[in-house]
Every structure is written in C-alpha cells, then in structure tokens.
Structure 1
Amino acid sequence: MTGPKRWQLFDQQSEITSQLGPRLDVHPILAQILLNREIKSLKEASAFLMPNRSVSELSFDQKDLDQVTGVLHAHVSRKTPIMVYGDYDVDGMSSTALMVTVLRQLGATVHFYIPDRFQDGYGLSQGIIPSLIEKKIGLLLTLDCGVSNRVEIAAIKDQCACDVLVLDHHQLPDILPDFDGMLNPKQLPESHSYAHLCTAGIVFECLDYYVRRYSCGLDMNAFLDLVALGTVADVARLKGANRWYVVEGLRLLSARHHLGIRCLLEEANCTQARITAREIGFVIAPRLNASGRLKNGLLGVKLLMAETEESGRHFARLLESLNQERRALDVSILKESVAFVEAEKLHEQSVIVMSSKTWHPGVIGITASKLVERYSRPVVLVCEQNEIARGSARSVGEVNVYQVLKSCQSYFQSFGGHQQAAGFSMSLNQIPGFIESLQLKGREQILPEALFPIIHVDAPLMGGQIDLALAESLQRLAPFGEGNPEPVFYFEGLTPVSPKCVGDGRHVKVMFTDPSSGVVLDGIGFNLSDKLELFHRKKVSVVGHLQVNEWQQRRSVQIQILDVK
C-alpha cells in the first residue's frame, strides 16, 4: 500500500527556455529543468552542464586554511602521533580513510578511531582519552563531529595536552569549543560553491591545500572516488563543488580504481560498467552503513583502506554478511510494526509512534522510512534497551518532524535532527508520557493536507516529444541526488496495455500507447502493485522518470512510474 500523493508542476517558462536552449545547445525541456533547479544565468547553466573545480574562490577562509594546515604540518614534520577520530556513517568512514591514507603517504604517524554507536554514542566521546594518553597523541583530528563537543574537547585538552583540529559540517553552536583550528562550511555564505560540503569534501579541500602549500607532489584528484562516496551517501547538495567531486569520482569508481570498493561491488554482484550515484546510494553505502548500524564502522574504514586483494575481499564479505543481517532485521521489524499499526489503528493518528524491547536501534530508522511510505504519516520508532530508550523519526510531505518532536523535548536526554528526520534518547519510564504527548502535539500541529507527499513535476511531455534522443540527453543533468533530483515528467491520456505484477508481485510492468501520436512506451512502477487496478482503465495519467532501458543490446525509452491517476 502506498499513500496518496500530490502532483505539483513547476511554472513552465516556454519563452525563456526557447531562448536559453539554443544558447546552451540543449533541448528546451532541459532548459526548463535547469530553471526548475534555480539555475538562472548562462554562466551558472554552463558550469552545471560542464562542472569544473572553481579556481576563482578558496574553499574556506584563507586564515582558517593556513591555521589548520599549519598546525597539521607541524605535527607531520615532527612525526608526533596523530589521532583521527571519525564517525560511523559513510561520510565519517570515507573522510577517515582519506585523511589517514594521505597523512601516512606524507610520512605522518597516524592512528584512527571510529566510535561505537552503542557504547560511545554520537559525536566525540571522552572515552577516547585513555587511548590518547597511552599513544602519546600530539594532535587530535575530529572528522564529521567536534563542533558541538565543547565539554569533551576541554577535557581532552586538559588531560592530554594535545592540539585539536575540527573538520565538521554540522551547525555551529552559540559557543564554539576551544579548538586549535576548524574548517566548517557553515561559516560560508549560502551562495558559496563550497557551502554544502560534507566532511569528505572538507578533508579533500584541507589536504589539497596542504599538498599545494607545502609542495608535497601528491595528486589529490586520485582520491575523488572517496569524496564522491561520502558526498552522495551523506545526501549533500549536488551543486557547486559537490557536483564536480561526484562527476569526477564516479569516473574513478566506474574504472574500478579503488580496490576495496571494487571488491564490495563484486561481492554485491554489481556488474554494470558505469557506476552512478544510484549505485552509491543503493549498493555501496548500505553495505558500509551496515557495519556502523550493527557492529562498528571500523570495518567500513578497513575496507576503504584495504591494500591487498585478500584483505579487500575479506572485508567485503564481512560487510555483505552484515548487510544481509540488516535486511533480515528490517523485514522482521517492518512486519511486526505493520501488524501493530493495523491492530491498533495507529494510521488514524497524525503521528505513528511505537516502542519495543526487541527492535535493533541501528535499523529502526530504515523501518520508519518504509512505514512513512506505506501510511503517509510521520513515524517515530523507539527501541528500549537497558535503562535507555533510543528513538528515530522520519517525516512525510510538508511536516517538520523536528519541530513536532521539539515540543516534546522535555522528555529527552539527547535530541537532534532536521525537518525530515530526527533522533533522540530518553529514560524508559518517560516513554508512556512521551507517546501520549507526541500524539497530542501531532493533532495540534499537523494539518491533514501536509501529510501527502508532493511529487514535483518538471514538465509535461506529449507523445510526439518523447524519443530516445531526449531520454539520452537528460543524462547531461546527471549525477542526480539532493538539490538535483532526477527529472520527473507528466504524461497525460496514455492507454495502458497488458499491465501485470512482477518482482514477487510488488511491482507493475505495463506498456503505454499515446493515442495522439501513436508512440508506444514501456513502463515500470516499483512498489505500485496496490494500484494495479488503475492501470486497467482505458486512459490514465502518470508521473515518472524518462529513462533509457538497455536489454540484450537494445536501447529503448522507458517510463519509471512514480504515481498514477
């Protein structure tokens, strides 16, 4: 079952696109999509279509770059032990692997640590202090964390007497920690090319500036596959510098340049020659994330730093096994939670909230997302463990789940997130009161119309406009992701032919004919089997992606259906 969706068409600016298209040498439809992506000048459009690294602006303030690289160079030169403290998500893993690999190539003495999700929690932990003392660490580098860890950094500097550099992309607190240098894109103007870097991008820019400043003779572009991995997996906005990272990084990934990632792709039976952002999001990242969700992100870093075929295959097998375990847990939790929702009629509430002692805290966020898709409601799942409950929330439509939860924050020990997702922890005895309060706040704050997901439609397409050339030309807009979604089109008055369920009965395969032009199109709708009856109508309207389908060396146009009415 999938919830109802609203279709929202962008304003069609035919007069502008008819002028912009020829000047950019693109189809007017592509010109319309560029306008939809808020690209409003020829210069911006050209940079988007042919991404290159900006040479006209520094990635960060000159003073900050000099300070951070100066402190780093002092420790590299003296060969004082350096500790890299990462994070257990893919951005944290890829940035840790990048930093450690490059520093070791530069001759530094480097250790690294990935916190345990269950023992250390999120962010920098004071639990690292004994290790810093034992290893006589002179410099601590915090990656993808640190900017909010004022207390922890103060304790570390007091007990370990080491320098601390923070490379982090999270929001700046009112009072910053007492670090010795920081690079954070949140300090840049919103319009800056580097304003939306994830930590992998920050690390790349830091090291690239370092090797140029100190004439190290190292080609940093050879590491862009790791930067692309972190950028896509962290759902960073694919504009500005991020777009260049991903375009170049995908070329390296397609060439199987990185040993560990190649082993992981082979273990996952991913054989296509061209790796896209989709393979990062749906093949590579879930397997790396499985280590952080179920065990420790250290396994992911070891894969990304593997130097031999044997070690690469070893860690790839371990990650594949963990991903299979993660999938099984997700299926089990989803089945149990759906049964509970239906039995208790929780889908009639403005917010679905449930708690269980048997759920795994590393998986409930994934399950919550699937329940949101099923019921078109914000979903909050709480895992009860020992004396602490950990919750994960996902939103839908225009509902700001962070703000709804914030109205209940008196129940939380820790809390953070944004409009679409949030997480928290609380004492077990607070759960009943929290659930009652959240459902009340949901009824007060969430309007019914805000619950329906919006599908933003780039342009209507008539049968006569649809051909292989147009579908192929859309790839000029790739890679797709946050800030640059894959184009969505509106197709009206199509006649469905022979619709049927495929893929264990979950998906719909159908052929369409356009009566006005005679064009025949294949269509595939993932997870739309509950709407099969609609495809038996004489005429339907659909929204979806226009794609090139390759089968047995034959290329044809296909609609990937997102919704039907």
Structure 2
Amino acid sequence: MRWTIQPKPSEDKIKHLAQALNVEDFVAQLLIQRGIENFEEAKVFFRPSLEHLHDPYLMKDMEKAVERIEKAIQNQERILVFGDYDVDGTTAVSLVSSYLKSYYPEVATYIPDRYQEGYGVSFMGIDYADDNGFSLIIALDCGIKSIDHVAYAKERNIDFIICDHHRPGETLPDAIAVLDPKREDCNYPYDELCGCGIGFKLIQALGNNRSQTIEDLVPYLDLVAAAIAADIVPMTGENRVLAHFGLQVINSNPRPGIKALVHQIKKKVLDITDVVFIIAPRINAAGRIKHGNHAVELLTEFDFEQAQQFASEIEAYNSERKDLDKLITKEALKQIEENNEKERFTSVVFQEDWHKGVIGIVASRLIETHYRPTLVFTKSGDKYAASARSVKGFDVYNALEACSEHLEQFGGHMYAAGMTLKEENYLLFKEAFEREVEKTIHPDMLVPEISIDAEIDFCDITPKLIRILKQFEPFGPKNMTPTFLTKDVKDTGYGKPMGQDEEHLRLFLKQNGSEGIAAIGFGLGDKFDLTTNQKPFQVAYNIDENEWNGKTSVQLRLKSIK
C-alpha cells in the first residue's frame, strides 16, 4: 500500500474557515480539500435543500422534449421508455415510465437483453416498437452515440428523445431532443448527473406543466439515489442534494419494490454504502443473470405482496451471481498462477464458459489480488467478449484505443470498458495490450494507494467530530469518507486475528494514554505481527460507529497499518 497525504491548504485559509464555522482546524481542512472555502459554501454543503436544484429548462433541448411528449399524449400515441439493463438504466426506466403512467396509460417499457442485444439502443428494440405501434421512444442512460439506430427508427416514423450522461461523439443522433449536459453546446450548470438523474430532470420539466412542485416529485428520489450510488458519479452539487433526499425516502417511505428489497435485509437505517453494496447489486443481478425487465417489474410494482415475490426472485438471482462470481474469480486467479503471469503489467484471462453477466465483477475482484489493468474474456456467439477494469489513475479506454486494430468494437471510459474481438485476434490483442500498458503506465499506479485527508490524534475523536462527520454524508467520489492517519499507536494487548482463515484483524488501540478505541481491519490479518509486543505503529482509518445490543460506540475501520 502506498500512503499519500493530501496537500494541506494554507494556514490562513484553514484558520479563517475554522473560525467562521466554529470547528477544529482539521475539519476546516477537510472542507477546503472538498472545495468548500467559505461560510455560504459550507451552509450549502451541510444543509442540502431542494431549492438548490437547477431549473430543468436550462438543459439544452428540454423544451423540445417536453413539447414532443405532450403532443404524444394529446394525440394518444404509444410511448416506449427504453433503457440499459444496469441499475442506472433500470431505475431511470422505472422512474420515467411510472411518472408518465400516473396520468397517461399508453406507456410501456423496454430493456435490451444483455446477451442477444448488448448494451444500449438496439435494432431489435426499434423493431419491437414498430411492430407494436409505438411512435415515440424515450431512451434513458443510452443513445448518445446511436446515430444509425435513430436514423433506422426515423425511417419507420418513430421519434426519439435521448436522455444520456455519457460523452457524445462528434455527431449527435438526429433525435427530436438530446438531453445530455456533456454536450458541448449545453450550458446546464451541472454535468455530472447519472442517467436516472437526467430522467428526473425530464419529469421535473413535465411536472411544471401540471403545476407540480419539486416536493410532489420527492417520492421518485429513492430511484435516483440508488442510481447515483450504483453509477459512482461525483457526490457533489445536484447529485448530493438528490442522494440526500433520496436516502430519506428510502428510509421513510420507499416504493414497494425498494421496501421489499430492504425488508429482506432487515437493517433499520440505510446509508449510501448500504445502497451501493446491498440494494444496487440486487437490482443489477436481474440483468446479469436473467433479464433487466425483472428489475423494472420490481421497481414499478405498487402491490407490496407482489413486490415481495419479485424481490425474493431477485434475491435468488443475486445468490446465483455471487456463486458464479466466486467460482470464476477462483478459476481466473488459478489461470494467472498457472500461466506464470504474476510479473506482467496486465491481467488478461479467458475461458469460454464464463458467464458474461459477471465478468465485470470478476475483473474488479482480480484487481484486489493483482493490482493492474485487467480484462476478463468469455465466448459470446462466435466472438470473444470482455469486461475491462482499471487501477487508479490509468486510462484503460485509451489503452484499448491504441490496440483497436485487433478489436471488433469497444466502448467505455477511463476505469471500465467492454469489447469484442475475433477468436484469432485474442493472443495478438493480449500481447499488444500488455506492451501498451507497460509503455504508458507509471510504476506507482501498480501499487494500491491510500489517500489520507489529515493526521489527527485519538484525543481529537470527540462526539462533536462524529456529529460533524455524519453531516458530510452522503459520501461518494469527490466527497469520500475522510481517511485519517494517527501515529505512535499501540495495541492494548487484546488484539487478535479474526475470521475462518484469520484474514481479518480486531484491535483495541491507544495513543499517549488515551482510552482504548476498538478497531477492525478487514483483510489485514497478515499485519497482526506489526501490532504485538507493545511496539508503536501507524494506522490509516475511517471513523465508524458500531451498534451492539442497543449501544453505539466509536470504532475505527482500519485501511492499513505500518
């Protein structure tokens, strides 16, 4: 592990903000590191408000989109709401379709099949619309590069409205409206919304025509919070406001589908981490194992008993996904070992019977063991298909582009991508990718990094600090859970390895005569020797709270020890 300490802002800046907010210097430091430098910005950060949401009509083409939808309703046209099979896509489809259906019946949904159609707008989907009399398709979380598909639909007198958040190509599709804040010509003030977030802006604009206020649309925010958490978009600006109020809906009055998922988990109050690790994988499991339609059925069901039935089916898909994920990860690690590939700059593995729905998760798992850009291939029809995952700071999309002569197609972004190639090109590509990464990666990027926000002492961990840190939530990219460093720490002698293979660590730590603080380190069992014999050591950690038998106590979640 490479420990890096975030640059410290100037003392003047820290002192000024600390005084203005009546907080400790290191709390002011954490805020400045997040771009918050004065009282007003801190107020917006600590007190998210629905009033901070932007006018949806600031988004390029919003007026055109609303006009076309209103015309379709007036003319009794059939509307098809189309979206990708992941969490962002299925929540977006559920949100827009359930909103429209609340006052107009001629609305249906379509999620492409991961295996037959692949990602994004499909010709099969357009044929379905044509065969069933749909004259308007609203595409969510996809479509920004679907130039040929939109042209194909136009020939069949089907109009498109595209709501996407991915980066556009040089040419935009010839749709009635293209809602995407990443368009060069779009001046919308915030361009980090996810697909479901764009869908929410659309219903916000439609709501204006029905004299609805933003408060009337709050019940839809449970879906938006799930998408923001799952899609790993920055937890800043509008995303932070939408996630904050969405979490409140999840914890107070969620839709029956989400209530049924949470009901199975039996946890009282969910935070954003629970949404990422508990709700999102279950919604995703439908599209990975069976079909994304199952997720939309669950999220648009209004009868709780029926929703519970759907949720238990999805729970079964999720169990199957976990089993496949474990098995394939084991096989992939064995392949790396047997092929003696531990010294390479990349991990590229293939087995023709690996399940296409979980290879992306497996790629992430392999990075936990062999920290480097990773591709996991399986057979898909007569081609090889892969999911790519990258390490912090390395652009895997650029590396794929440099080897694109060996690929049939590829797409994605800096940290995750997908691709297909012909069987005969696999080994050529594997070697070209290895050479490209070796040439362009910085050696530091091959060592996992822990980014530390501030160095503190245990005496700084007070009830006031914990209250303030809770107000930093919801956490996510650009507002990560603060990581602290404390030096000259000793274990009180009660520390021990935990777990079946002693892979985890439980410690009771003290510093300079402070009271002992409980600490848990998942995957740090091999560091136990560093903590024995009253030897001092350093810890990097997040501050957590542990509930046990109705009592709440401070607990450190260790990230590393040295």
TM range (shorter): over 0.9
Q: CA deviation at 1:452?
A: 1.4
Distance in 2 (CA, whole Å) between partners of 1:464 and 1:62 is: 48
- TM alignment of 1:18-29, pairs within 5 A: 18-29=15-26
**AA matched with 1:293:** R
Match of 2:467 in 1: 472
Indicate the larger mover: 372-381 or 499-508.
499-508
- From 358, 362, 365, the equivalent of 1:363 is 358
Q: Would you say the 8 A contact 2:244–2:474 is kept in 1?
A: yes
- From 477, 494, 504, the equivalent of 1:507 is 504
Distance in 2 (CA, whole Å) between partners of 1:81 and 1:208 is: 21
Match of 1:155 in 2: 152
Q: Would you say the 8 A contact 1:464–1:517 is kept in 2?
A: no
Q: CA deviation at 1:62?
A: 6.1
- From 540, 544, 552, the equivalent of 1:543 is 540
CA 1:561–1:189 in 2, change beyond 3 Å: closer, same or farther? farther
Q: Would you say the 8 A contact 1:184–1:202 is kept in 2?
A: yes
Q: CA deviation at 1:483?
A: 1.8
**AA matched with 2:182:** K
Q: Would you say the 8 A contact 2:489–2:536 is kept in 1?
A: yes
**AA matched with 2:552:** R
SS in structure 2 at match of 1:186: coil
CA 1:255–1:291 in 2, change beyond 3 Å: closer, same or farther? same
Query: Is 1:428 the equivalent of 2:423?
Result: yes
Match of 1:454 in 2: 449
Q: Would you say the 8 A contact 1:198–1:234 is kept in 2?
A: yes
Q: Would you say the 8 A contact 1:399–1:451 is kept in 2?
A: no
Q: Would you say the 8 A contact 1:368–1:394 is kept in 2?
A: yes
Q: Would you say the 8 A contact 1:468–1:557 is kept in 2?
A: no
Q: Would you say the 8 A contact 2:52–2:238 is kept in 1?
A: no
**AA matched with 2:200:** F
Q: CA deviation at 1:368?
A: 1.2
Q: CA deviation at 1:190?
A: 10
User: How high is the sequence identity, in percent, across the aligned residues?
Assistant: 31
**AA matched with 2:131:** E
Match of 2:303 in 1: 308
- TM alignment of 1:161-560, pairs within 5 A: 161-187=157-183, 193-215=189-211, 219-267=216-264, 270-496=265-491, 497-504=493-500, 505-514=502-511, 516-536=512-532, 538-560=535-557
Q: Would you say the 8 A contact 2:349–2:376 is kept in 1?
A: yes
**AA matched with 2:58:** D
Match of 1:91 in 2: 88
Q: Would you say the 8 A contact 2:483–2:540 is kept in 1?
A: yes
Q: How far does the alpha carbon of each residue in 1:143-197 deviate from its partner, in whole angstroms, 9 at most, with x for none?
A: 11111000011001102x0221111111111011110012111137999653111
Distance in 1 (CA, whole Å) between partners of 2:515 and 2:339 is: 48
Distance in 1 (CA, whole Å) between partners of 2:19 and 2:521 is: 34
SS in structure 2 at match of 1:477: coil
Q: CA deviation at 1:113?
A: 0.3
- From 30, 34, 54, the equivalent of 1:33 is 30
CA 1:277–1:190 in 2, change beyond 3 Å: closer, same or farther? farther
Q: CA deviation at 1:498?
A: 2.8
**AA matched with 2:159:** D
- Tell me how many residue pairs correspond in the alignment: 558
Distance in 2 (CA, whole Å) between partners of 1:62 and 1:416 is: 26
SS in structure 2 at match of 1:354: strand
Distance in 1 (CA, whole Å) between partners of 2:367 and 2:184 is: 34
Distance in 1 (CA, whole Å) between partners of 2:416 and 2:208 is: 39
Q: How far does the alpha carbon of each residue in 1:485-511 deviate from its partner, in whole angstroms, 9 at most, with x for none?
A: 000000111002332222333321111
SS in structure 2 at match of 1:436: helix
Q: How far does the alpha carbon of each residue in 1:373-431 deviate from its partner, in whole angstroms, 9 at most, with x for none?
A: 21222211111233111111111233222222221111111112222222111111111
Q: CA deviation at 1:54?
A: 4.5
Q: CA deviation at 1:364?
A: 1.3
Distance in 2 (CA, whole Å) between partners of 1:222 and 1:57 is: 18
Q: Would you say the 8 A contact 1:64–1:182 is kept in 2?
A: yes
Q: Would you say the 8 A contact 2:251–2:269 is kept in 1?
A: yes
Q: CA deviation at 1:453?
A: 2.2
Q: What is the TM-score when the length of structure 2 is the normalising length?
A: 0.95
**AA matched with 1:315:** F
Q: CA deviation at 1:21?
A: 2.3
Indicate the larger mover: 318-327 or 122-131.
122-131
**AA matched with 2:102:** Q
Query: Is 1:561 the equivalent of 2:545?
Result: no
Query: Is 1:82 the equivalent of 2:79?
Result: yes
Q: Would you say the 8 A contact 1:416–1:422 is kept in 2?
A: yes
Unaligned runs of 5+ in 2: none
Q: CA deviation at 1:63?
A: 5.9
Indicate the larger mover: 184-193 or 20-29.
184-193
Query: Is 1:113 the equivalent of 2:110?
Result: yes
* TM-align CA RMSD: 2.0
Indicate the larger mover: 427-436 or 61-70.
61-70
- From 13, 26, 36, the equivalent of 1:16 is 13
Distance in 2 (CA, whole Å) between partners of 1:7 and 1:310 is: 50
Distance in 1 (CA, whole Å) between partners of 2:425 and 2:60 is: 47
Distance in 2 (CA, whole Å) between partners of 1:214 and 1:137 is: 24
Higher RCO by CA contacts (8 Å cutoff, separation 6 or greater): 1
**AA matched with 1:124:** V
Distance in 2 (CA, whole Å) between partners of 1:38 and 1:54 is: 21
Q: CA deviation at 1:273?
A: 2.0
Indicate the larger mover: 14-23 or 542-551.
14-23
Match of 1:142 in 2: 139
SS in structure 1 at match of 2:296: helix
**AA matched with 1:241:** E
Q: How far does the alpha carbon of each residue in 1:315-343 deviate from its partner, in whole angstroms, 9 at most, with x for none?
A: 10111001110110111111111122222
**AA matched with 1:475:** K
Unaligned runs of 5+ in 1: none
Distance in 1 (CA, whole Å) between partners of 2:461 and 2:322 is: 38
Distance in 2 (CA, whole Å) between partners of 1:235 and 1:134 is: 37
CA 1:12–1:464 in 2, change beyond 3 Å: closer, same or farther? farther
Q: Would you say the 8 A contact 1:8–1:454 is kept in 2?
A: no
- From 98, 120, 125, the equivalent of 1:123 is 120
CA 1:479–1:523 in 2, change beyond 3 Å: closer, same or farther? same
**AA matched with 1:372:** I
